[in-house]
Amino acid sequence: MKKVLIIRHVPIEGPGLFGEYLEKNRIGQQTVDIWKGRDCGLCDLDISCLSSVLILGGPMNVYEEEKYPFLRLEKYFIRELFMQKIPVLGVCLGAQLIANSLGGRVRKSPVKEIGWYGLELTPSAQADPLLKQFDPKTKVFQWHEDTFELPANAVLLAKGNGIPQAFCFKGLAWGLQFHVEVDACMIDSWRKAYLKGDVALNDEDHLLPVYHAGRAGLRARAENVLKGFLEMAQNRPVSRS
- The dihedral over CA atoms of 202, 206, 208, 214, expressed in degrees to the nearest 10, equals -100
| 179 is annotated as an active-site residue | yes
Catalytic residue among 9, 74, 179, 223: 179
Compute and round to an integer the Cα radius of gyration of the chain: 17
CB 162 within 8 A of CB 110: yes
Q: By CB neighbour count within 10 A (0-12 exposed, 13-18 middle, 19+ buried), where does 57 fall?
A: buried
- The yes-or-no answer on residue 80 being catalytic is no
Is 181 labeled as catalytic in the residue annotation? yes
Catalytic residue from among 74, 113, 181, 223:
181
Active-site residue, selected from the candidate residues 92, 113, 168, 223:
92
The answer to whether 125 and 134 are in contact (CB under 8 A) is yes
* CA 109 centroid distance within chain: 17
Q: Which residues participate in catalysis according to the annotation?
A: 92, 179, 181
